[in-house]
Amino acid sequence: MSPFANPMSSLPEASISAPYPVLLLAEDLVLDCPGSEPRRLTGLQLRPGLTLVRSDEDSDMSHLLRWLSGTVKPRSGQVQWLLHSRPVSTTELERLVFWADPADRSQDKMSVSAYWQQLRGRYPRWNDAMLDELQAELGLTPHLDKALFMLSTGSRRKVALAAALAAGAALTLLDQPYAALDLPSRRCITRCLLDCASQAERIYVMADYEAPEGVPLSQLIDLNRLLPG
């Protein structure tokens, strides 16, 4: 496997590791976060590379990822994809964004192979060679014919992570990618995130409590410091 090797001025903490262009803008967003007050994000800019979304609350991080995926709508605000000169349709958004919600059980009866095959048809830049390497390195080969509900939490997360990294989406959303993984798999994912961090055309957004050691960030969105909406 290949080594997987402008700040948001209104957000409290942000650092840019490379001068990549902004691909997605969001203005005056107000998000209804479950279990807490609405949060306001002003001047959100997502750039290629790896962005960390950090919060003390799992639900807040996941909610922001669901919003970025188009699964939930903000209370207010506007979003613009700069690679399009017109509004993005729902169909286009599904091909631009990869999001596998860990709480989603709608495809539990699908086999691992069928799940990947379904996604392969959605993403035009799907990388089968990458999937094969991740399948082997994450120890997923014995599980290909098993239904998703038969897998352990860790194996199920590996299936989704392999798909996310093989999809080649413009925006890839990763919800706590290290959760429930064994040490060899964690090392594999760190190598993958190193590669994600170097991307010049794709955005990766990772929700977690802290950044992986040694992996540079394009920016940091600290939801703990956002003002109520």
In angstroms, rounded to a whole number, what is the distance separating the alpha carbons of residues 62 and 101?
A: 8
Predicted TM-score of the model (pTM): 0.86
The pLDDT, as a whole number, for residue 228 is 58
Average pLDDT, the chain: 84
CB 8 within 8 A of CB 45: yes
Least confident of 34-43, 55-64, 97-106, 216-225: 34-43
Q: Which domains does the chain have, with CATH numbers?
A: 24-225 (3.40.50.300)
14-32 confidence digits (pLDDT tens): 333 444 567 777 777 787 7
Report how far residue 72's alpha carbon sits from residue 147's, in angstroms, rounded to the nearest whole number. 27
Cα separation, 148 vs 135, whole angstroms: 15
